[in-house]
Amino acid sequence: MEKIYEKLERTKVFRDPLYGYVNVDYKIISDLIDSKEFQRLRRIRQLSGVSMVFQTAEHSRFTHSLGAYEMANIALQKVRGMENLNEYDKIVFLCAALLHDVGHGPYSHAFEGVLGISHEEMTIKIILSPITEINKILSIKTGLADDIASVIRHDGKHPLLESFVSSQLDVDRFDYLSRDAYFTGTAYGKIDYMRILRSMLVKNNTLYVKSTGVQAIEAYLVSRYHMYFQVYYHPVARSYESILESIYRRIVDLTKDKDIKDKNISAFLNTLKNNSDIASYIELDDAYVNGFIKQFTKSKDKILNKLANCFINRHLFACVELLEDGSNEDKVKEIKNKFNKVEQRYFFIRSDASAAIYLQSKKSDINDIKVLLPDNKTVKSIDQYSDLVKALRKLGEKTVSRIYYLDF
């Protein structure tokens, strides 16, 4: 037997409040979980600043990643047609589900915005870089790391697995909506993933849902939409992240032309300079960021000092929504003018957040939810089949534009 297929003597389990247990059978999965890069996810909160408003949302990307893996496990058992997948593809699927978020940095959103690093790219780098433990584990079989990266990158080579890992209906979303609902204590995200999985069907390497599952999917789409606006985009969370964004921006500005050697932020600066410096990137976690910000509370740079104090002592930026009809434009201008040009860059932050109930993808139809009608032949996209989705798709994206600003 090839080593990649080696199983643990006894299923290894992790208690999980959502699924009872996360079940690990393959040795390679167990090894990946134990790797340094994966363990680092324990130290990065799933929802960044959201715990400033939903205080129990303290769960980490580690628990979500295990959850996405288990959801993949469940999909392999419950979705009709998945039994035809060969064992290698099953392992690729499980690994991709497990590792899809491994490139997340601390407070990702703010990080990516300012530094121009996407967590997906970092995930790919961590999987492919020969210096990581993960890459070493995956080297057990030639091509494995590449295949996993390809699925996560969504490059069209493994359409079925790609749609399971990242699409409109994927194991990632199923887990995080359920999990974030559980840990925030909100009702929005409680989706009926089991019914959706049971209504799915794989045929000719394509994922369909039977029409019996359409209402469960409608409910899921609406849930997701509400989670975005009620939880993920909550002004308190976004205010907190805006301060962080300004801190990052200030550091970038201060260090642009200078060669600064601050030991406390060297890993951060290294990442800034070269985002392929994986060794440095991996050093970064929530505690690292909190740590250097704490020290900046005594910084001589007035702006950094101010921002750091706001962040640590939870003096949040105030928030004003930019009304669509422009009726509060003057008020917003007035606020803006309280700041000089330099201050505006750090203390007056515009933040737009958008979500749609259902967006048809533009490039390809890989993301579309395909409904298989009872005749077992006709296929419609869900926004053709469901009046509700059709009506809501027309709404397009809903965008909330807000200004977060330092309130004296």
Which residues of this protein are in contact with a copy of itself, per CB under 8 A? 10, 13-18, 20-21, 34, 36, 39, 42-43, 51, 54-56, 58-60, 62-63, 66, 80, 182-188, 190-192, 194-195, 198, 215-216, 218-219, 222-223, 225-226, 229-230, 286-288, 290-291, 313-314, 357, 387-388, 391-392, 394-395, 398
Distance of CA 102 to the CA centre of its chain: 10
Q: Please, what is the minimum distance in Å from the beta carbon of residue 310 to a copy of itself?
A: 13
In the complex with a copy of itself, the residue whose CB is nearer, 17 or 143, is: 17
- The least distance separating a copy of itself from the CB of residue 226, rounded to whole angstroms, comes to 5
Whether the CA torsion 78, 144, 156, 180 is positive or negative: it is positive
CA distance 159 to 313: 47
Round to whole Å and give the CA distance between 243 and 73: 39
Report the sign of the C-alpha dihedral through residues 184, 180, 399, 405, in that order. positive
CB of 287 to a copy of itself, least distance (A): 4
Residue (2 or 330) nearer to a copy of itself, CB: 330
Q: How far is the CB of 173 from a copy of itself (least distance, A)?
A: 16
Report in angstroms how near the CB of residue 345 gets to a copy of itself at its nearest. Answer: 28
> CB atoms < 10 A from the CB of 170, how many?
22
Nearer to a copy of itself, 387 or 407 (CB): 387
Beta carbon nearer to a copy of itself, 260 or 391: 391
Q: Smallest gap, in angstroms, from Cβ of residue 162 to a copy of itself?
A: 27
- Separation between Cα atoms, residue 406 and residue 307, nearest integer Å: 9
Provide the β-strand partners of residue 15: 21
Q: Taking the complex as a whole, how short is the minimal distance between the CB of residue 120 and a copy of itself, in angstroms?
A: 24
Looking at beta carbons only, is 78 or 141 nearer to a copy of itself?
A: 78
Choose between 230 and 305: whose C-beta lies nearer to a copy of itself.
230
Name residue 402's beta-bridge partners: 321, 351
Q: How far is the CB of 54 from a copy of itself (least distance, A)?
A: 5
Nearest to 217 by CA among 83, 368, 397: 368
Distance CA 96, CA 150 (A): 9
Shortest distance, CB of residue 71 to a copy of itself, whole angstroms? 14
Cβ(130)–Cβ(170) under 8 Å? Answer: no
- Cα–Cα nearest to 6, from 23, 26, 24: 26
Long-range contacts: 54-61, Cβ < 8 Å, 24+?
54/183, 54/184, 54/185, 54/186, 54/231, 54/234, 56/183, 56/184, 56/185, 57/180, 57/183, 57/184, 57/231, 58/183, 59/179, 59/183, 61/101, 61/104
Question: Closest separation between CB of residue 256 and a copy of itself, Å?
Answer: 27
- The DSSP secondary-structure symbol of 373 reads P
Nearer to a copy of itself, 47 or 144 (CB): 47
Which CB sits closer to a copy of itself, 150 or 271?
A: 271
Residue 30 or 118 having the CB closest to a copy of itself:
30
- Nearer to a copy of itself among residue 143 and residue 291 (C-beta): 291
- Considering the complex, what minimum distance in angstroms separates the CB of residue 364 from a copy of itself? 26
CA gap 291, 310 in Å, rounded = 14
Residue 231 per-residue DSSP state:
I
Encoding tokens for residue 296? 């900046």
- Rounded Cα gap, residues 8 and 94, in angstroms: 15
End-to-end CA distance of the chain: 68
The 3-state DSSP class for residue 349 equals strand
